[in-house]
Structure 1
Amino acid sequence: MLRNFKKSKLFLMLMIVVMLFPSTLYASTQGENKKVLKGDLISKAEFIAKISSYFAWPHPSDYNDIWKAPLKKFNDVKTTDKYGKEIEAAYEEGIISPDSQGNFNPDTEVSRQDAAVILANVFKITESDNDAKFSDYKNIRPDARGSVNALVEWGFMSGKTPKLFAPNEPIKTSEVEKIFNKITSKIVTPVQALPKQNAVAPRRYVKLYTPTPDATIYYTTDGSEPTTSSKIYTVEYTGHINEMLNNSQLPERTVVYKAIAVKDGMVTSPVQTFTWHLYRPVIDDFQHKLIKEKTSSSPAVYQLYNDSESVRPMAWYIEGQDKGILFDALQTRADAKNLKEYIDENIAKKPYSVIIGHSHGDHMAQAPNFADDHEIYVNERGWAPIASVLNNPEDQAKVKNIEEGDVIDVGGSKLHVYALPGHDHSDIILQDKENGLIFASDIYGCTRAGSADNVAVMGVKTDLFLSLVQQTYSNFKKDDGKITQIFTGHDESALEASHLGIYEAAVQQVIDKGENGTTPTLRGNNDAPNSRTTIIGDMWKDGTNWIAIKLPGIKGDSTEYLTSSPINYNSKDGYMKYSVLSNIEIEGGELVGKPVQWAEPRSFSWAGNTITVNNSLQNKFDPWTYDYTIEVPKSNENITIIPTTMSTNVKTIRINGKKVDYRSKTSIRVSDGSVIKIEIIAPDKVTTSTYTFTVNKK
């Protein structure tokens, strides 16, 4: 009787456990047919995701590289699935492969022998012929025995019991963790390389890395085996090593790197060999893509490029109802190919003019082919460099200046012109306010991960450049201007409006943090380690939502990349002294700006004469000029002031004595002659500035 009662009590307790903890005992999830593993077992998806995350393999959808191979897919895994990206990244690495049905089977368990094969493969642990001493050794698949032998021999993996390996039993999460920890604490993890080697490209910027902290990477490029006497690689010093095709090497060459990683107290990593196939045609035809169809109120947009060009810039053909604009003129020599003939035969349906976004060799080379029968517009600050291709004084005389404030009507659409010097003195930008289209040549973007592209902005002091960036963005928004797509000189696809915020943030962090807001470099060979760069985002994770801007000088040197007068912000903690505005926006009135000069005037020969061109812009806000006029229509009784300080860390902003926040809106009642005072205390709590704005009612 007592025995039966105990049995009934035990049965009742088991039933309660089942009711309270069903997920550990049932094999399917509610509403789905997916298998749920019991207890501590790890699924294939979780196992591969752990490996993929540890090795930091980027998913192809997470970086901007037109030369990457097509994405490899399993039938039963979507990129958007949990662990989908990690699984597909591992597939690209060759660590996993599909079954006969093209499936990965992510929710199934991982057998102990399969785990051994994958781990030995990914950590490059050499297979062993020494049979592991298990009574069930013959049950291990022949193709898995070498991996099992090696992991057991190293002491990384043990049997299910002292006598049984149990190759077909599923491995537990806890066991995977132990094996992983043993491997990564004993052997330096093999060197990894980006970009991937599975696609042909005209150039590659090579990044080497190992997940093992504080390990030193040694590498060779001549096919020899690396040793501790070989070259050392660090991103900070070496950058992403530039591998290109010089004209003498065209059309192709093979690049081979070999690398090891070394750390005291650990076994040196196995040698890794990386091979990239570079290919670029000696000369090729121009190509184009229709990006946007023409409508009655929106222009057609075509992308133009040439695969034989070493840095593969983009040009843009914009055509409205009445006329077209070719924005930039690519890199191919005018005597090698004719872009004008290509556009006339394949694209243009209306008369068109040519606008050079800035006068660098990869954006102006074809200009001579348009000189006879097309208007060519170049900002006059770029006339001196474009004379290298437009070297005939008669052709130079035909060139027209284009400047901020100009408006180009192409029929159904107007393109507003803005100037943003920095990358080049002659940088100009076009904006279609109605449709939100921005054409910006090189000043924005350059987000190709596989080429380590970054924008060099060395012609303007960084703090003044931030002010000009903010003022340009304010101009984009004026008159209900839209920003939907940004077309640049080195991005194959249009960037989103959010890119402008990322761009500003990259410059802003230098002002807010000083040298601590910079990093050494991205581009090896060209710049490393001789550069000062500011970066927001990760080129391998953030698609086009990252930016790298190269600033004057070398990180840590004495180059005055910030303004030095009336205050030297380049001194130690000089960034704490910013008590100035970088921009001011006014709703209901218009600021009367001042001339802003960033470089000395330049004299040069042009069209048979010697001319002098100023490197300055008119009617701008100058952070170091403190008295301004605001013109206000007589009918307006109030205006709204939006102050932006150079540093986001200022101690105080006051408008007419009232404390306000950074970029907050303040409504002020005004009359003719009234004065608005803005006072700022710098982050150092000592340095101050006061601005006065006098209202002129018109």
Structure 2
Amino acid sequence: MTQTSTPARKEAIAAQPAKVSRRFFGQLLGLPAVMASAATASVVTGCGGGDDAPAPAPDPNAAAMTRAAFVASISKYFDWVHSSEYNDPYKLAQPTFVDVKLGVTANAKEIETALEESIVSNVLGYFYPDQLVTREEAAEIFAKAFKVPASSTNALASFTDAGAITASRKASVNALVAAGYMKGSSATLFAPAATLTGTEAKAILDTITSQLVAPPQVMCKSGTTAPRRYVRISTPTPGAQIYYTYTFDGSEPADPSGSAGIAYDFEQNGVLQFVNPLTSTTDFRLYRLKAVAKKNGLATSAVQSFTWNIVRPNVGAFQAKLMHPGTATTPTVWKINNPAEYFQAFVFYIEGTTRGLVFDAGEYGYQKANLKTFIDSIATKPYDIIVGHNHPDHAEQIYNFTSAGVTLYASAIEKAAFMAASRADFKAAGAAAVAIADGQVLDLGNVQVTAYTQPGHTNGLMTAIVNQTGWVFGSDMWACNRAYTADTTQYNQVKVDLFLSLTQQLLANYKKSSALGLVTEVTNAHQDVSVGMEGVNNFIKCFQQLIDKGDAASAPSIRGGRVGNPTAPTTRNSRMSMVGDMWRDKNWMAIGNSIGTGLDSPVDYFTAPTTAFPCGATVNYNTADGYKKYSVLSNIEFAGASLVGVDVYWLPPANGVANKVSNKFDPWAYAYTVKVASGTTSIVIKPTAMSNNVTSMKVNGTAVAQGASITVAVAVGNVISIDVVSPDGTSTSSYKLTVALA
């Protein structure tokens, strides 16, 4: 477009000095201000300086702060978690203000967390977030947040306006001035009603944090009632050493500042485990904790006090919560537990239009109460039961079902484990159990449930999916993720790499069974809230990151750390792999307790060659940089074809039964048959490399990226080649897939 000059523009040009700024020149040309500099840079020259230089951006900290912005700066420093993000079903109701609305008011979450931490008050109901914060208000909030002790010195004597300080805030102002954290606006004025800029607020915060250790804080949050509380103590002050004392009978803990204080470090000690143990003769324990933080060169923090009421009755009755009401096309699902149980493993009752299915059998003693009788009170159809695995917190009540003639399903491996148990009730129930096959379908009328074996937590753990809805019930598969008990489920029966492979295959089988072609909900027996695919993917990432990064992806377990602590002295020395923020992300996952034999042992959780059971691996991936030598696939998926799998082993036989699953892909078996229907001329192959960092992966010589699929022409008798080169380039694997007629 041709730009013409109007008379007014000509007059403006004539009125300007010889040197014209790029901005003004652009304006004269009618260009947007942002474009002017670039558009005229090649034709306008100058020596710099003046208004040729970009105008400096305004300093946001130079403006007076609103009450909302100021309080938000404190909340963010302490990293307080808002209840809308806080993963805890036992959390307290969120206090708020009439004029603070989530999603509407700026910094609403930070304001509400500050209220929860009692550094602001809602006695009058309103916060007035848009009002400018005054100096005396800021002093009071700083004093409350950092628990600045009151001073006996009258530090306000030199201020002629000391009498203007609000009486209720005078002690806080005096404390900050006496400690040297805050100064007057001049030598003789404090100016309590004057506003505070962002720069001034930051200077005060920097002064406080450079001289005073921030007070300790805890997660789980204090003041709650729950069956268990696993507590982490922290302070925002880097390098500070925390000391704590605690009691569980409601009595006053000793002063942690003195010799009674127990040193605490999260990585070394893990979480404090506050429980009402099975040995307890009471229905509850009132835990009280005191904590202090110290650092050389800084003033010691204030002592903080916290309480939790841990309620686990010695005797309890079963109770049920409706998870899903039934419809013509979906089942009714009940979630059942007994509050007297220690590990809090849920039982599920799934009922279709003609039959029901109990999944898992709970923890509460089978002689104390009868779960079968309770199921009878909610069931409207005849039912069977699947037990996920043989651990007592999932299998305690199986005898009450088998002795009453209810069919008990278990994998052949778990059936053998029950029969080999020392308990007579487990032996009898195991003998009566029916071995359910991997992939076996149970018909409930309007819905069907498919059972799948997944070794790892135990050797024959069973999971189940409701085919019509995509709901998965995992027993102890898929990891529980209760932040308040720092869950880190172990899958130690199978090496990490093989477990990853079998898990990817399990997920693929779920999707095949699901009428929706996907998994919509996954529930581990210990989860309070089900997760979706994001949680499933995070679970898989816990294993994948170990493959991709080696032991650098592990960390001391949040349960017990390296050396443990007095609340759980035997829980220690465990590796963990974790994905997500356990307090803010409902889909966080952690696996461990342990990965391998312990932090003080060499890496031993990857596959290595062995003659103890059939194993085709020739590389020991536990050696230094062994994780860089994965040239194998972890899974292969097909569209238009099906893989004829092989037997996959992970341990020697036990209880007279082989530890194996059949018709699976084995990463270290390299020859397979692929079945296709008559007339098939092409299929789609999706190979997945064990490591995301492989140097290359090719199908019939064509490179395929991780996660991608490729269409391959086929004819009966053809051989498809898949070649993988390890991340370090030292190892190559070649898979041969022979096409055959189904």
TM-score between both structures, scaled by the size of structure 1: 0.90
Q: Mapping of 1:175-214 within 5 angstroms?
A: 175-214=200-239
1:483 aligned residue: 519
Q: Which amino acid aligns with 1:84?
A: A
Q: Distance in 1 between matches of 2:511 and 2:136?
A: 61
Q: Distance in 2 between matches of 1:654 and 1:38?
A: 56
Q: Distance in 1 between matches of 2:316 and 2:181?
A: 54
**Kept in 2: contact 1:368–1:389 (CA 8 A):** no
2:654 aligned residue: 602
Match of 1:537 among 573, 580, 583: 580
1:411 aligned residue: 445
Q: Which amino acid aligns with 1:266?
A: L
Q: Distance in 1 between matches of 2:430 and 2:620?
A: 41
**Kept in 2: contact 1:64–1:447 (CA 8 A):** no
1:68 aligned residue: 91
- Is 1:139 matched with 2:171? no
Q: Residue 413 of structure 2: SS of its match in structure 1?
A: helix
1:461 aligned residue: 495
1:130 aligned residue: 153
Match of 1:430 among 441, 452, 464: 464
Q: Distance in 1 between matches of 2:469 and 2:552?
A: 39
Q: Which amino acid aligns with 1:226?
A: P
Q: How much has 1:177 moved relative to structure 2?
A: 0.5
**Kept in 1: contact 2:538–2:588 (CA 8 A):** yes
1:552 aligned residue: 596
- Is 1:687 matched with 2:731? yes
Q: Mapping of 1:262-411 within 5 angstroms?
A: 262-345=294-377, 347-371=378-402, 372-386=404-418, 387=421, 391=425, 394-411=428-445
Q: How much has 1:297 moved relative to structure 2?
A: 1.2
Q: How much has 1:283 moved relative to structure 2?
A: 1.1
Match of 1:452 among 471, 481, 486: 486
Q: Distance in 2 between matches of 1:616 and 1:625?
A: 14
Match of 1:248 among 272, 279, 283: 279
- Is 1:631 matched with 2:675? yes
Q: Which amino acid aligns with 1:258?
A: K
The range that moved more, 349-358 or 558-567, is 558-567
1:642 aligned residue: 686
Q: Residue 651 of structure 2: SS of its match in structure 1?
A: strand
**Kept in 2: contact 1:515–1:555 (CA 8 A):** no
**Kept in 1: contact 2:399–2:428 (CA 8 A):** no
Q: How much has 1:543 moved relative to structure 2?
A: 2.2
Match of 1:513 among 522, 534, 549: 549
Q: How much has 1:94 moved relative to structure 2?
A: 1.9
Q: Distance in 2 between matches of 1:394 and 1:273?
A: 51
**Cα deviation digits, residues 248-284 of structure 1 (max 9, x gap):** 3321222222222222222222222222222211111
Q: Distance in 2 between matches of 1:527 and 1:633?
A: 57
The range that moved more, 335-344 or 635-644, is 335-344
Q: Distance in 1 between matches of 2:213 and 2:665?
A: 55
Match of 1:225 among 251, 255, 272: 255
- Is 1:89 matched with 2:113? yes
Q: Mapping of 1:569-584 within 5 angstroms?
A: 569-584=621-636
Q: Residue 60 of structure 1: SS of its match in structure 2?
A: coil
- Percent identical pairs in the alignment equals 38
2:563 aligned residue: none
Q: How much has 1:231 moved relative to structure 2?
A: 2.6
Q: How much has 1:401 moved relative to structure 2?
A: 1.2
Q: Distance in 2 between matches of 1:621 and 1:599?
A: 17
Q: In 2 relative to 1, CA 215–392 (structure 1 residues): closer, same or farther, beyond 3 Å?
A: closer
Q: Which amino acid aligns with 1:88?
A: E
CA RMSD of aligned residues (A): 1.9
Q: Distance in 2 between matches of 1:393 and 1:179?
A: 69
The range that moved more, 464-473 or 479-488, is 479-488
Q: Distance in 2 between matches of 1:43 and 1:389?
A: 67
Aligned length: 652
**Kept in 2: contact 1:367–1:390 (CA 8 A):** no
Q: How much has 1:38 moved relative to structure 2?
A: 11
Q: Distance in 2 between matches of 1:110 and 1:548?
A: 46
Match of 1:54 among 56, 73, 77: 77
Q: In 2 relative to 1, CA 248–405 (structure 1 residues): closer, same or farther, beyond 3 Å?
A: closer
Q: Distance in 2 between matches of 1:405 and 1:44?
A: 60
1:16 aligned residue: none
Q: Distance in 2 between matches of 1:77 and 1:421?
A: 50
Q: Which amino acid aligns with 2:384?
A: S
Q: Distance in 2 between matches of 1:89 and 1:107?
A: 17
Q: Distance in 1 between matches of 2:666 and 2:632?
A: 10
Q: Residue 598 of structure 2: SS of its match in structure 1?
A: coil
Q: Residue 397 of structure 1: SS of its match in structure 2?
A: helix
Structure 1: give runs of 5+ residues left out of the alignment. 1-36, 604-611
Q: In 2 relative to 1, CA 324–207 (structure 1 residues): closer, same or farther, beyond 3 Å?
A: same
Q: How much has 1:495 moved relative to structure 2?
A: 1.1
Q: Which amino acid aligns with 2:625?
A: D
The range that moved more, 83-92 or 233-242, is 83-92
**Kept in 2: contact 1:257–1:275 (CA 8 A):** yes
Q: Mapping of 1:486-497 within 5 angstroms?
A: 486-497=522-533
Q: In 2 relative to 1, CA 526–574 (structure 1 residues): closer, same or farther, beyond 3 Å?
A: farther
Q: Distance in 1 between matches of 2:708 and 2:61?
A: 55
Question: Runs ≥4 in structure 1, deviation > 6 angstroms?
Answer: none
Q: Distance in 1 between matches of 2:600 and 2:575?
A: 8
**Kept in 2: contact 1:515–1:556 (CA 8 A):** no
